[in-house]
Structure 1
């Protein structure tokens, strides 16, 4: 989302939770939203622009949250970007407890190259399986050991609403019934996640200038003396291309540290359940 004049978000001096459309020209603000807790033993959200050493965002990027939800609904890769565009979706993430980190060496195998893994070579039969158990018998490419920054015991409260009511209702039902097409994970597929406390909340304007959630839109945040905040540059929205996908917008994931709450423009704050949040 690009930087905008804050007044663009407040027509006629205020907001109405009865409006399905955004208070800005493109931001979607719902009447109600789905809320759920998601946690895992470990999480890793790889920062863009790093290859060998792999640091992690502390808060899952918006694109990661969209991918998590699309996987739960079984949507094909690169097919859901319009569904999670700024004018048709609203997402907020509350870090219930900022996780500490642990550096871990992980050995990986390239599985993207054509025929990278050959579990049963044509010239071998299943009766010669003992030889096939050795790495050289089924992997063409060398394993690679990388250093990952892992988040330990993260817990996030995610709030989401979609303008497409059919998809929104399907997502709610799948979350309530724990009926996932693909197992939810926090970043890496090995970081299997546990989803709990699924609920539907009304969205109301909040008379506050501090919130519990992180912010994906830097223009929402108003730094204040005495409050420590951190910002991490991350992809915000994507679109499908002939060769896959591309990022259409970057912004800062901004969050408060310690016991502080994030200072924001009051016109962008909402009450959802027990939390005060900003949507993006």
Structure 2
């Protein structure tokens, strides 16, 4: 397959569509991708956000917390997300300890290494979490940085990960099934076209037939680091079928990957 570099793969040249990608499925018994809106019930996004995919792959590669944002920037990466199981949620009460600075205590405070942990003697707070049940997503990802792309391919193919993968919350452990590396070809030229993945930024172009369910959500897509930690710099509106079926969409640039029709962002 041809090799791309950060210098010659730009959104302006080909709409963000790469010529090859890595494909894998991430799944687990539970998942929670916290919505940024405040609510008594801690709600979850239904489609794994693009920023979460970036964090998941950074964990696989062993990249530090704030060290991967440029790698997954809009002009140097492409990601397609396809739910492969019916999307279901349940509200689950959880007892939590506060992690505010005033509620942490030092472990081994007099030693060379000191770790701050929540005080286990304080009262727990109960919160209701909206949790995904048996979530599973097929992810197609391409990186313009060929060195990191090659490292990601080797790591996924070996079934390895530097850090334990999870679906949002660290306690929601995930399994990753690597499918391989695939050419990315132009999708069907018909209009409308049947899309298997969630469809980014095409909310008004979805064809709603009788019996077809479609839901919409906006989630974080891109981040950058700043003095305060990290800031969301871009969002994506996804249209998706909660039954994990396809959607018909007009006037969209689709790609063909491993016999599936997806849209990258």
Q: Is the 8 A contact 2:203 2:238 kept in 1?
A: no
Q: Is the 8 A contact 2:219 2:236 kept in 1?
A: yes
Post-superposition shift, 1:18? 10
SS of the aligned residue for 1:21 comes to: coil
Partner of 1:34: 22
Partner of 2:135: 154
Q: Is the 8 A contact 1:118 1:139 kept in 2?
A: no
- Distance 1:53-1:220 versus aligned 2 partners, 3 A rule: closer
Alignment of 1:100-249 (within 5 A): 100-111=88-99, 113=101, 116-119=104-107, 138-139=119-120, 142-207=123-188, 208=190, 209-215=193-199, 217-219=200-202, 222-226=205-209, 227-249=212-234
Partner of 1:256: 241
1:185-206 CA distances to partner (integer Å, 9 max, x unpaired)? 0111001101113311110001
Between Structure 1 and Structure 2, the one with more helix by share is: 1
Aligned counterpart in structure 1 of residue 32 of structure 2, from 37, 40, 44: 44
Post-superposition shift, 1:225? 3.3
Q: Is the 8 A contact 1:206 1:269 kept in 2?
A: yes
Q: TM-score, normalised by structure 1?
A: 0.80
Pick which of 168-177 and 157-166 moved more: 168-177
Root-mean-square deviation over aligned CA pairs:
2.7
SS of the aligned residue for 2:154 comes to: helix
Q: In the aligned structure 1, how far is the partner of 2:3 from the partner of 2:203?
A: 22
Q: In the aligned structure 1, how far is the partner of 2:102 from the partner of 2:164?
A: 25
- Distance 1:28-1:191 versus aligned 2 partners, 3 A rule: same
1:13-36 CA distances to partner (integer Å, 9 max, x unpaired)? xxxx99963564684321110001
Post-superposition shift, 1:259? 6.6
SS of the aligned residue for 1:268 comes to: coil
Partner of 1:7: none
Q: In the aligned structure 1, how far is the partner of 2:41 from the partner of 2:24?
A: 32
SS of the aligned residue for 2:55 comes to: helix
Post-superposition shift, 1:79? 1.6
Post-superposition shift, 1:72? 1.1
Post-superposition shift, 1:256? 2.1
Q: TM-score, normalised by structure 2?
A: 0.84
Count of aligned pairs between the two proteins: 250
Q: In the aligned structure 2, how far is the partner of 1:121 from the partner of 1:95?
A: 46
Post-superposition shift, 1:106? 1.1
Q: Is the 8 A contact 2:156 2:178 kept in 1?
A: no
Gaps in structure 1 of 5+ consecutive residues: 1-16, 123-134
Gaps in structure 2 of 5+ consecutive residues: 111-116
1:83-137 CA distances to partner (integer Å, 9 max, x unpaired)? 1111100001111112311111111223452771444576xxxxxxxxxxxx99x
Quick check: 1:81 aligned with 2:89? no
Partner of 1:66: 54
Between Structure 1 and Structure 2, the one with more strand by share is: 2
1:127-186 CA distances to partner (integer Å, 9 max, x unpaired)? xxxxxxxx99x4475432111111111111110000001001111111111221111101
- Distance 1:259-1:102 versus aligned 2 partners, 3 A rule: closer
In terms of Rg, which structure is larger?
1
- Distance 1:210-1:152 versus aligned 2 partners, 3 A rule: same
